[in-house]
Structure 1
Amino acid sequence: MTLSVARNKRYEARKLLSNDVDPAMLKQVTKRASRVSAENSFEAIAREWYAKFSGEWVPSHGEKIIRRLERDLFPWIGKRPIAEITAPELLAVLRRIENRGALDTAHRAHQNCGQVFRYAIATGRAERDPSPDLRGALPPAGYSGSS
């Protein structure tokens, strides 16, 4: 750490103390909030949901679901806290799948998202499921786009 960086950190700590904020306590609270946020990410809850229910599925079905989650959803919304994901954000992810010509996969991903959100609600980590708001937003499966 350079001297100027150390001075800036000291200045920031003194500023916090002058506002009656303990810098060490703030660091602990921030670290804890970050950990809770990671535990409540879409990916963490989806993996928990998958682990809980995949034993009831035929192995090939479970493999398709986890592959769909890992390939099509986690890269875009996996790290986001599940309670903060909005319908437009979810639609943007589903449109990415649709735009590559995988409309059936987009519909299945939509279903899987709804299942994950409902699980998050049941376990107290989300207030609502934005997936029903997207009903009709994707063309029907099998739709070719031409008349």
Structure 2
Amino acid sequence: MAKRIPPLTDRQVMNAKPLDKMYRLYDGGGLYLEVASSGSRLWKFKYRRPGASDETRMSFGTYPQVSLADARRQRTQARQQLSAGVDPAQARRDAAASIAEEHSLRFENVARAWHATMLSGWQPDTAANILHRLEHDIFPLIGATHIAAIKPRDILAAIQAIEDRGAKEIARCNLANVVRIFDFAINRGDTERINPAARLSDVLQPARLAFW
């Protein structure tokens, strides 16, 4: 019968000092604290991927940023994932990729990607003016919203706020660029929705179009 590993205590973890060589303090269930000769203390989890025979390891973070209790919660979650046939390390990578994609599809990031794509066709002053107007008038209101979640009324509110300060031509130019940004997003596959800005020009106050 395998010898049962007694669980670690907070005092043991806190008092773990560096030695000439790296060593490990085991908590059981695959969780251990790796203490490097440099003094760093890293939580690791040892396990076998579903369907694999070889062992692998994943990091749970460093101590004291990640406490013993936090590391144990991560171990419990990882073991639950393994019981369901899920590789916890792969699940973590998938979650990180999903978060990164979510961030990249916020309106501001899509707009900046559109702006970078269009740069070669614009004069420098035009490019700078377009970006400045987006940063000043549009990003503060819808820049952090996912491109697929923006509704016509959200865009209209941003454009009408420009009208309310008397800048009707700037409002229309901004709207025209928002339309182009959504066309760019749709063509790139960022969203499958019909362009929510495409029919808003008829709602705006009449103004002579300006070109930047």
TM-score, length basis structure 2 = 0.56
Question: What is the number of residues matched between the two proteins?
Answer: 142
The equivalent position to 2:122 in structure 1, one of 42, 57, 60, is: 57
Letter in 1 for 2:163: E
Q: Hey, what does 2:171 align to over in structure 1?
A: 106
Residue 124 (str. 1) matches residue 189 (str. 2) = yes
- Give the gaps of 5 or more residues in structure 2: 1-65
Q: CA separation in 2, counterparts of 1:88 and 1:19?
A: 43
CA, structure 1 residues 20+133, in 2 after alignment: closer, same or farther (shift >3 Å)? farther
Q: Hey, what does 2:151 align to over in structure 1?
A: 86
Letter in 2 for 1:129: N
| Structure number with bigger Rg | 2
Residue 135 (str. 1) matches residue 205 (str. 2) = no
Identity across aligned pairs (percent)?
Answer: 36
Q: Hey, what does 1:48 align to over in structure 2?
A: 113
Q: CA deviation at 1:78?
A: 1.1
Supply the RMSD in Å over aligned alpha carbons. 2.5
Q: CA separation in 2, counterparts of 1:100 and 1:11?
A: 56
Residue 35 (str. 1) matches residue 100 (str. 2) = yes
Letter in 1 for 2:197: S
- Give the gaps of 5 or more residues in structure 1: 143-147
Q: CA separation in 2, counterparts of 1:18 and 1:100?
A: 60
Indicate the structure whose relative CO is greater, using CA pairs within 8 Å and at least 6 residues apart.
Answer: 1
Q: CA separation in 2, counterparts of 1:13 and 1:62?
A: 48
Q: CA separation in 1, counterparts of 2:150 and 2:129?
A: 23
Mean CA deviation greater in 74-83 or 3-12:
3-12
Letter in 1 for 2:205: P
Deviations 1:115-140 (A, max 9, x none): 10001111111222111231311111
TM-score, length basis structure 1 = 0.77
